[in-house]
Homo-oligomer: A and B are copies of this chain.
Amino acid sequence: MTDASTPRRLGFLLTQLGTFASARFAERVRDLGLVPSDAGVLRLLSRNPGMSQRDLAGRLGTVPSRVVVLIDSLEGRGLVARTRSPSDRRNHELRLTDAGRTTMGALRGIAEAHEHELFASLDDEERRLLQGILAKLAADFGLDTEVHPGYSERGQ
């Protein structure tokens, strides 16, 4: 069909694999009753307890009104708690509940399994090389080490 001789473009491969990895992660996360956006928020809050909703919006690259919906959902399931800031009562401080921390632990397990599955066919040397190259590229483009781009419907 297509030209099997020409090596596929790197950008194409990167997009294809990134999309595949996201979709696969989303599947796994669904087993916990979460969507990928939930996972992103839990992850961020576990590392930055007490964040305000505006902080979170900025970090996720979205608008405050979207954060309301995300947090409403997580709060409704008892995974995140809002508490009004004593110093400025306009602010909500966001934190994981105990249940939220438990879920976060499960998410770490899922990420581990995901990692194993994706890179099963690579040897240690290849993993090391890939890690080095991808980290370099991520640095080139200033990609945030904590924030996942797909806070919405994507993976991890």
Contact = CB atoms under 8 A, between A and B. Distances in A.
Interface stretch (A63-71, A86-94, A98-106, A138-146): A138-146
B22 A18 contact: yes
Copy number in the complex reads 2
A2 B2 CA distance: 44
A146 to B, nearest CB: 5
B18 A17 contact: yes
Interface string A4-15: 100111111111
A86 to B, nearest CB: 24
Interface in A109-130: 111, 114-115, 118-122, 126-127, 129-130
Contact of A131 (B13, B136, B140, B143): B13
Given A15-B18, A18-B21, A122-B137, 18 more contacts: A1-B48, A2-B145, A7-B135, A8-B135, A9-B111, A9-B115, A10-B134, A11-B114, A11-B115, A14-B18, A14-B118, A15-B25, A17-B18, A17-B134, A17-B143, A19-B149, A118-B137, A121-B140
Interface of A: 1-2, 4, 7-23, 25, 47-48, 111, 114-115, 118-122, 126-127, 129-131, 133-138, 140-141, 143, 145-146, 148-150, 154-156
